[in-house]
Amino acid sequence: MTDTTTEQPTRAVNGAVVPVLAFAGIVVAVMQTLLVPVIKDLPQLLDASPSNASWVLTSTLLSGAVATPIMGRLGDLYGKRRMLIASLAVMVVGAVISALTSDLLTMIVGRTLQGFAMGAIPLGISLMRDMLPREKLGSAMALMSSSIGVGGGLALPAAALVAQHADWHALYYGAAGLGVVSIALTLLVVPESPMRAEGTFDVLGALGLSTGLVLFLLPISKGSDWGWTSATTLGLFAASAVVLVLWGVLELRLKAPLIDLRTTARPAVLFTNLASIMVGVAFFVVSLVLPQLLQLPTATGYGLGQSMVVSGLLVAPLGLTMMFTAPVYARLSAKYGPKITLILGLIIIAIGYGAGLGLMSAAWQSLVISMILGAGIGLAYSSLPALIIGAVPASETGAANGLNTLMRSIGTSVSSAVVGMVLANTGQNVGGIEIPTMHGFRVSFLIATAAVAAGLLLALFLPKSSRPSQQHTQLRASSEEEAGIERAEAALRGFRGRVLDAGGAPVARAKVTLIDRRGRQAGATVSGADGSYSVAVPAEGAYVLAAKASGHGPLASAAVHSGEERAVDLDLSLPGEAVSA
């Protein structure tokens, strides 16, 4: 165990880590988007009523919402890379099941399993935090966060092309193939993070959160079919409120909860999560409106009469622009901080929707709207994980980012339900078929604009960011103890000192691992520029401090801590002469 944990950071410098993790995010987005071109045909393809066929989409939403925070917490406890691979593997199984059937129930089972892949994005962001140097972390997280839009932008025209010219089951085979490639690349390139949270998995908390989320999201997804004031819809909302309140009471009483609600209640985390819901709303409105507007026949007087494939290509820049904003975000955030970048992104989104109200009469105008909104959403999405990571301990980043991703998913779910209701209530009957109207499209854009305004107000309430240099130092923390180097004076008890080479010179970025008497990792940190390290101990007793740095021999030094509220000074001298890496 000791060798594994000490070798991990030296492998993390592999330049392929970020593209591989981003590719995993793109695969998740492809899984979400692949059915968009055939949504309207699902009842015929599955020989089911429209209401029952919609469960193919609803099941993925529900399982993704449940899996995201749970997989994040499991990653914190047992290994983020391990859980990332598990998420993708479950998705592959689900895709294969869906590819082999046209039976509604079996298809729903397959789509439910595919939803587990949603945990891959927060896990990828957390892995980046644990491994990357701070100068690379900003742009890497931005790319990972925007991968959901990138994958959607690329998948939409590709899925439309497949749906037009091949059996629609080929969409699932393609998703399964991409998942297998992503798993293989992750195994080959991405090292496991040595960072672990303390405690055990909160099974009761996971069941409570899962139940509450399903009870909440189910009526949001099916409210249009059941009726928003029906006893079923209102009853599920009420049951959700009761379950989530009881779940919250339980979580506050546990030492190792699924989600630390006290941390979540911090203004920096709370307002970021609330703003995430609004960004999710804004992201999904354009994805719902533009494809329909583009594909409606010109005979309606406002439809643009484009094919499924052309419509996908015209909307694709929404995701591609999100990808290209990643390096822009990194520079802006380094100079002004993620709070300012989030505000800027929201302003650009508002400009995009405002312009969209008057730019709906030609196909090229949809391209312009997609690019403006993609730039704004890319900046906003990229800011969210940076704000979360800067406000929570490193041992909680998986669960915290999972919750933040869940907030975005709730935003997209609310957006889907509200826009669906608006378009249905403002539609017109043509030849016995209800079609959306231009009035409905404009009202949908106004709703998105209102959501952006609410998000902007929430962003203004975020605590003032620390200096960007301090922010990036926080983001880089590869373990909770590394962040503890910056607050070593506040450490209650543990070991501290310097890591030195054979000649007595300080060794920077040496990996120091604390091993307890059972051979388990009890803590880890990385030495600072002056060789200093500080690692807390969980309890009194005998320990081994294992130190290793690239170009130096390893060291294992026995040490004892009495458990008193003090730090024991202990310098670690790496043996042998330094060798070239």
How does pLDDT run across 403-429, given as a tens digit for each residue? Answer: 787 788 788 778 777 887 787 777 777
pLDDT at 83: 92
Residue 104 in this model has a pLDDT that exceeds 80: yes
Q: Label residue 482 by pLDDT band (50, 70, 90).
A: very low
289-336 residue pLDDT tens: 887 788 788 877 777 788 777 877 787 777 778 777 767 777 787 788
**Mean pLDDT of the region 570-574:** 87
For 457-466, what is each residue's pLDDT tens digit?
Answer: 999 988 865 4
- What is d(CA 153, CA 496) in angstroms, rounded to the nearest whole number? 49
- pLDDT tens digit string along 76-97? 888 889 999 999 999 999 999 9
Q: How far is CA 532 from CA 10, 203, 472, 514, 543, in A?
A: 19, 39, 19, 15, 19
Mean pLDDT over 468-496 rounds to 49
**301 vs 12, higher pLDDT:** 301
pLDDT of res. 36: 72
428-430/567-569 β-pairing: unpaired
The residues with which 513 forms a beta bridge, in sequence order, are: 524, 546
Q: Which residue has the tokens 């991409």?
A: 178
Q: What number of helices (H) and strands (E) belong to the chain?
A: 22, 10
For residue 97, what pLDDT is reported? Answer: 95
pLDDT given at position 469:
45
> Tokens 């399903």 appear where?
214
Average pLDDT over residues 17-35: 85
pLDDT of residue 450: 92
Question: Which pLDDT score is estimated for 474?
Answer: 47
C-beta of residue 512 within 8 angstroms of C-beta of residue 545: yes
pLDDT at residue 581 in the model = 38
Mean local confidence (pLDDT), 523-541: 85
Global pTM? 0.67
User: What average pLDDT does range 568-573 have in this prediction?
Assistant: 87
The architecture of the domain spanning 480-573 is Sandwich (2.60)
Q: Where are the domains of the chain?
A: 2-202+254-471, 480-573
In sequence order, what are the residues at sequence separation of 6 or more whose Cβ sits closer than 8 angstroms to the Cβ of residue 530?
A: 498, 506, 508
Give the pLDDT confidence score for residue 398 in this predicted structure.
65
pLDDT tens-digit series, residues 147-199: 776 777 677 777 778 877 788 888 899 999 999 999 999 999 988 887 777 67
The pLDDT-based confidence of 483 (bands split at 50, 70, 90) is: very low
Q: Which residue has the higher pLDDT, 251 or 176?
A: 176
Q: Residue 565's pLDDT is what? A: 64
Cα(193)–Cα(181) distance, rounded to whole angstroms? Answer: 21
- Asked whether the predicted pLDDT for residue 557 surpasses 80, the reply is yes
The angle, 0 to 180 degrees and rounded to 10, between the axes of the packed helices 55-78 and 120-131 is 30
- What is the fold, at CATH topology level, of the domain defined by 2-202+254-471? Growth Hormone; Chain: A; (1.20.1250)
Mean pLDDT computed over every residue of the chain: 80
**What pLDDT does residue 106 have?**
92
| Percent of the chain with pLDDT strictly greater than 70 | 86
Query: Ramachandran region of residue 534, left (φ > 0), alpha (ψ -120 to 50) or beta?
Result: beta
How far apart are alpha carbons 208 and 324 in whole angstroms?
39
Q: What was the pLDDT predicted at 2?
A: 33
* Residue 375, C-beta contacts closer than 8 angstroms, at least 6 positions apart: 321, 322, 325, 345, 348, 352
